[in-house]
Amino acid sequence: MLRVPQGDRRYFDISLNGHTQKVLSEEGLKVRSFTLTTSSVNLTLSKEVKEIECTGTAGLDRNLRNLTYGNEERVIQYDLSKAVKIAETTREIVGSFRRNDARIRRRIASKYGRRRRNRVNHLLNCATRQVVEEAYNRREAIVVEDIRGIRRLYARGNGQGRTFRGRMNSWSFGEARRQVEYKAKWRGVPIIPLTKSETRGTTKECARCGERLQVAQRDDVRHRRELWCPRCKGWVDRDVNAVTNLSRRGRLRFDRSLPKGAKGEAGEAMKGNPTTPVILRVDASKMTRWDNLQSYQNLRG
- Judged against a pLDDT cut of 90, whether residue 141 lies above it is answered with yes
Do 148 and 37 share a structural domain? Answer: no
224 has pLDDT over 60: yes
Is 28's pLDDT higher than 80? yes
Report yes or no: 247 and 186 within 8 Å, Cβ to Cβ. Answer: no
Q: The pTM is what?
A: 0.76
How does 151-187 read in b/e, with b if 16+ C-beta sit within 10 Å? eeeeeeeeeeeeeebebeebbbbebbbebbbebbeee
Per-residue pLDDT band at 271 (split at 50, 70, 90): very low
Query: For 224, what's the count of Cα atoms within 13 Å in the CB-facing half-sphere?
Result: 3
Tell me, yes or no, whether 179 and 33 share the same domain. Answer: no
Mean pLDDT computed over 233-242? 90
Please indicate, yes or no, whether residues 22 and 62 belong to a single structural domain of this protein.
no
pLDDT at 49 over 80: yes
Longest pairwise C-alpha distance within the chain: 81
DSSP code at position 83: H
Shared domain check, 176 and 34? no
> Kind of pairing, strands 191-193 and 140-144?
parallel
Q: The domain containing residue 40 runs over which residues?
A: 2-47
Residue 142 and residue 185 in one domain: yes
When pLDDT is averaged across residues 72-86 and rounded to a whole number, the result is 93
122-133 pLDDT, tens digit each: 999 999 999 999
- Are both 99 and 34 inside the same structural domain? no
- Do 203 and 290 fall into the same domain? yes
Instruction: Determine how many CB atoms are found less than 10 A away from the CB of residue 301.
Output: 14
172 & 285 share domain: yes
> Same domain, yes or no, for 37 and 92?
no
Position 219 confidence tier, pLDDT thresholds 50, 70, 90: low
Residue scoring higher pLDDT (26 or 265): 26
Please report the pLDDT score of residue 274 as a whole number: 45
- Shared domain for 130 and 261, answered yes or no, is yes
164 and 17 inside one domain: no
Amino acid at position 49, single letter: V
299, 237 contact by CB (below 8 A): yes
**Cα distances (angstroms) measured from residue 44 to each of 3, 18, 102, 116, 271:** 15, 17, 38, 26, 31
> Are residues 38 and 168 both part of a single domain?
no
Domain count, the chain: 2
DSSP 8-state secondary structure symbol assigned to residue 264: G
Confidence bin at 226 (pLDDT 50/70/90): confident
CA distance 97 to 281: 56
Higher pLDDT, 179 or 268: 179
